[in-house]
């Protein structure tokens, strides 16, 4: 089921990509769908994995404390990024560059979640290739 959901994410990203160079409304739609995908699929999937490890004892002690702190940090950044998007939708003229900050914050979220889920993320110019599980 989880795998199917994640395949769905890939398909979704493809479809969103198709709308990449469309109208303003479609751009907002693409941004919103992408944001929704992260919050409604990526976070719960990573959390389910972490909680399973917590339950069976393979994640405990300092590692557990650190993982919880990192997850909370990612969640805070995600919510803050959402607030910035909302501000931009309401008044794009106030701070036209705010979306660059949003992008940076979401990138940090991506790195934290990938790290928590057992993978590592490498920095690159426009892509973040993932190297398989530890």
**Residues 106-125 close enough to bind other proteins by CB under 8 A:** 106-107, 109-110, 113-114, 117-119, 121
Exposed/middle/buried for residue 78 (C-beta within 10 Å: 0-12, 13-18, 19+) = buried
Candidates 1, 63, 95, 103: give the one binding other proteins (CB under 8 A): 103
Q: Which two tokens stand for residue 79?
A: 């919510």
* 92 forms part of the interface with other proteins (CB under 8 A): yes
Candidates 1, 18, 49, 61: give the one binding other proteins (CB under 8 A): 49
Query: Which residue from 55, 51, 52, 88 is spatially nearest to 71, judged by alpha carbons?
Result: 51
Least distance in Å: CB of 48 to other proteins? 9
* 61 forms part of the interface with other proteins (CB under 8 A): no
Question: Under a CB-based contact definition with an 8 Å cutoff, are residues 82 and 127 in contact?
Answer: no
């Amino acid at each position: 089921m989880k795998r199917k959901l994640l395949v769905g994410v890939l398909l979704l990203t493809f479809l969103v990509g198709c709308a990449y160079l469309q109208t303003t409304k479609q751009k907002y739609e693409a941004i919103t769908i992408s944001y929704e995908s992260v919050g409604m699929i990526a976070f719960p999937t990573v959390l389910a994995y972490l909680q399973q490890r917590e339950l069976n004892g393979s994640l405990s002690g300092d590692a557990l404390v650190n993982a919880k702190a990192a997850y909370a940090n990612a969640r805070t950044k995600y919510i803050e990024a959402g607030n910035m998007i909302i501000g931009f939708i309401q008044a794009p003229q106030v701070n036209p560059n705010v979306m660059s900050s949003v992008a940076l914050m979401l990138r940090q979220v991506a790195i934290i979640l990938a790290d928590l889920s057992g993978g590592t993320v490498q920095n690159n110019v426009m892509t973040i290739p993932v190297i398989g599980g530890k």
